[in-house]
Amino acid sequence: MRGGIEKFFWGITLDAAHKEHKWDGTATENTVDCTVTTHKLSVRQVVLGADAKVGEANVIELEVLGYDDKKQKIPICVTKAGNSYVTNVDIFIEYQAATFHLTKGSGPVHISGMHQTKTNIIGEDDMDELAEEEGEDEEEEEEEVEELPPKKKTKK
């Protein structure tokens, strides 16, 4: 879909074999279609798997860049078999990468939510800026080429 918003179900499972999951929510540019797609992730639910070890605490931590590009590593859910298996959360990650970690326990822990994409067509002003930037790059490359004077023919 060009120039619109799309929403998708999103989910991951963290367990003893897969203790980390990276989500790349950075914008993607398509120079062929002249579009930029931005990504948002809304995490809504954490579910402890039915086969989780009884009595074992499972800690899920989220790592993102916060204000002023400072790394934030914060637990978003602690769940234990024998208690409620479903935890509702409200986490919104916009325009950036994030890493989910199972820092304690062996899971399985299922994390789900919604992945939203928004595709914008790059306007003519944006295209002019891109063309100017490309032109500047080409000019710089041309300036780097050293012009040699033509060779003189010598008579023998």
Both structure tokens of 44: 């809504």
The chain-wide mean pLDDT, for the chain, equals: 85
User: pLDDT tens, 15-70?
Assistant: 999 999 999 999 999 888 899 999 999 999 999 999 999 999 999 999 999 889 99
Query: What pLDDT band is residue 1 in, cutting at 50, 70 and 90?
Result: very low
Centroid of chain to Cα 102:
19
Give backbone dihedrals phi and psi of 14, rounded to 5 degrees, phi first.
-110, 135
Give backbone dihedrals phi and psi of 5, rounded to 5 degrees, phi first.
-110, 135
Residue 116 is predicted with a pLDDT of 97
Tell me the mean pLDDT in the region 135-146: 55
Both structure tokens of 31: 């120079």
Both structure tokens of 110: 């299922």
User: pLDDT tens, 111-134?
Assistant: 999 999 999 998 755 555 655 666
At residue 121's C-alpha, the angle toward residues 115 and 122, to 5°, is 120
Residue 83 is predicted with a pLDDT of 83
